[in-house]
Amino acid sequence: MYECYTVEVEGTGLRFAPRKDNGKDIAYLPGQPPKGYTLMNLIGDPGFLHCAVFRKDGAAGGFFALHDTEGVLFLAVAESNLAYGLGLAHMGRTVTYARYGADIFEELGLHRYINAQDTFTTYGASCMPAASLRAMREIASSCVELAEVQAKTGDALAKLTHNEGAYISNGAAGGMMVATAAALARDDEKIFHTLPEITGPRYEVVMQAAQRNMYDRGCSAVGAKMRYIGTADTAPTVEELEAAITPATAAVFYVIFFGRDASLPLETMVEVAHRHGVPVIVDAAAQNPPAENLWKFTGMGADLVIFSGGKTMRGPQDSGLIVGKKEWIDRCRRWGPPTDGVCRGCKTSRESIVGLYKAVQLYLQRDEATLMRTLNRRCAAFERTLRDCGFIQITRTQEGPVGQVMARTYAVMPYGSAKDLADKMRANGIYIGAEPGNRILLNPLMVTPAQVKTVCETLTTCMQQIKEEL
């Protein structure tokens, strides 16, 4: 559901006041002007961001409906001609700035890409919703107390995600550092301010060897010594876990998905760790969707669970979300930035904090069943093109590489190499995956409806080029 505001004249400017009825009296549907209103103009680019301008028939005022590629963002209702005129100018500037104010691309010689591969950090992760950008722009123009922004936004996110507490971190990696520092120091200021040098009794983080990955350095970066149990291919026994937890253990670290076939389950890790008074920190960075994961792992007993904010939740790329038990979230707030110390470099800006809040809010409002149907339709369009180009072993999965529930298509090259095709597609402004077994990957998550056609047409052209070069 879109947001609805009243446009109020305030001096020489405007104020957008939320309407208590949320605009139910207007009941706007795209392409269907409400009774008593006439469409006057469309401002902006329908393929990016645009504003539909309506005039009230036989009376003062009208309203503005701001759209992006996914639907209506908000309505702004002007109940006087002055508010209407100023609102028209404001909305015109808004869409013009959004569409053409990004001259930074031209200034720096940057390229825009269609991302048909994945929400990788190197590709800028995801594209942010307009509501997040509005919140970030609004708070960026004001001075605020960062601790207050962090606390109140965290409280709101905790409520949204059915958790005792929440903390916004500088990415999931920054979240790992803050969470581990909290486990090492607990409530001891002296211990915290010596990190990464360990001066307290707790210095180890226990982790299953099968779950080792390139990101667990977030724990050791703040001084923790990693203690691995089991092997890369074999889960430890409960007895091994019991023996590994000693008075020196600060936390047990668990990674969702990685090594799941050679790992003890989370419930077992929680039961044993809690029996010894040790918290469990969970890395669930890319475990969305489904949205219920935001409270699933804490519901299983985990003390702190860390998510990436910039992937499928579509928050700022440098944002992360920690949810968990109040006592541990309070420690994250105490030892996290802007506090001086080992986590100072993990500072999260006021813009990223509120940007993530709006992104999570929208993410939880989204109907996942509808999203999945949409992604599958886009995959079907990709697959028709792949068949026309002669690809073999065309398959569609409903699971991402680290367990996310989302549709994606794989196909084996009929000739040439997947890497060559990926290189040619990139040269044409499109990222696709080149996978082992000479397979390509097409992921529809970040592809707009208008871009699906572009991806398919470019793929056809590039395959023809490869054929001609053989």
Residue with the larger pLDDT of the pair 355 and 33:
355
User: Could you tell me the CA-to-CA distances from 185 to 206, 252, 342 in Å, in that order?
Assistant: 16, 15, 11
Q: pLDDT for 144-165, tens place per residue?
A: 999 999 999 999 999 999 999 9
Q: pLDDT for 361-396, tens place per residue?
A: 999 998 888 889 999 999 999 999 999 999 999 999
pLDDT at 23: 59
> Percentage of the chain with pLDDT > 70?
97
Residue with the larger pLDDT of the pair 296 and 105:
296
Task: Decide if pLDDT at 102 tops 60.
Answer: no
Overall size of the chain counted in residues: 470
pLDDT at 22: 61
Mean pLDDT of 163-190: 96
Confidence at 189, pLDDT banded by 50, 70, 90: very high
Query: Which regions of the chain carry the CATH code 3.90.1150.10?
Result: 368-469
Residue with the larger pLDDT of the pair 104 and 137:
137
Sign (positive or negative) of CA dihedral 76, 79, 83, 85: positive
pLDDT at 17: 86
Q: pLDDT for 346-358, tens place per residue?
A: 889 999 999 999 9
Provide the token pair at 56.
């009230």
pLDDT at 1: 64
Task: Decide if pLDDT at 172 tops 60.
Answer: yes
The CATH fold assigned to 130-365 is Aspartate Aminotransferase; domain 2 (3.40.640)
pLDDT at 338: 85
pLDDT at 415: 94
Query: Which regions of the chain carry the CATH code 3.40.640.10?
Result: 130-365
Task: Decide if pLDDT at 27 tops 80.
Answer: no
Mean pLDDT of 184-204: 95
User: What phi, psi does 6 have (nearest 5°)?
Assistant: -100, 130
What are the residues facing 409 on neighbouring strands? 396, 442
Task: Decide if pLDDT at 406 tops 90.
Answer: no
Alpha-carbon span 383 to 364, nearest angstrom: 30
> Percentage of the chain with pLDDT > 90?
63
CATH level 2 (architecture), domain 368-469: Alpha-Beta Complex (3.90)
Alpha-carbon span 421 to 104, nearest angstrom: 29
**pLDDT mean across residues, the chain:** 90
Alpha-carbon span 111 to 45, nearest angstrom: 19
Q: What secondary structure, in 3-state letters, does the chain show?
A: CCEEEEEEEECCEEEEEECCCCCCCCCCECCECCCCEEEEEEEEECCCEEEEEEEECCCCCEEEEEEECCEEEEEEEECCHHHHHHHHHHHHHHHHHHHHCCCHHHHHCCCCCEECCCCCHHHCCCCCCHHHHHHHHHHHCCCCCHHHHHHHHHHHHHHHCCCCEEEEECHHHHHHHHHHHHHHHCCCHHHHCCCCCCCCCCCEEEEEHHHCCCCCHHHHCCCCEEEEECCCCCCCCHHHHHHHCCCCEEEEEEECCCCHHHCCCHHHHHHHHHHCCCCEEEECCCCCCCCCHHHHHHHCCCCEEEEECCCCCCCCCCCEEEEECHHHHHHHHHHCCCCCCCCHHHCCCHHHHHHHHHHHHHHHHCCHHHHHHHHHHHHHHHHHHHHHCCCEEEEEECCCCCCCCCCEEEEECCCCCHHHHHHHHHHCCEECEEECCCEEEECCCCCCHHHHHHHHHHHHHHHHHHHHHC
Alpha-carbon span 394 to 408, nearest angstrom: 11
pLDDT at 274: 98
Regarding pTM above 0.75, the answer is: yes
Q: Which residues contact 268 (CB under 8 A, 6 or more apart)?
A: 238, 241
Beta carbons of 79 and 6 less than 8 angstroms apart: yes
pLDDT at 13: 75
Mean pLDDT of 302-329: 95
Alpha-carbon span 28 to 36, nearest angstrom: 12
Which segment, 17-26, 159-168, 284-293, is predicted with the most confidence on average? 159-168
pLDDT at 242: 96
Confidence at 103, pLDDT banded by 50, 70, 90: low
pLDDT at 182: 97
Alpha-carbon span 259 to 382, nearest angstrom: 31
pLDDT at 211: 93
Let me know the angle formed at the C-alpha of 418 by 417 and 423, rounded to the nearest 5 degrees: 100
Residue with the larger pLDDT of the pair 85 and 438:
438
pLDDT at 100: 61
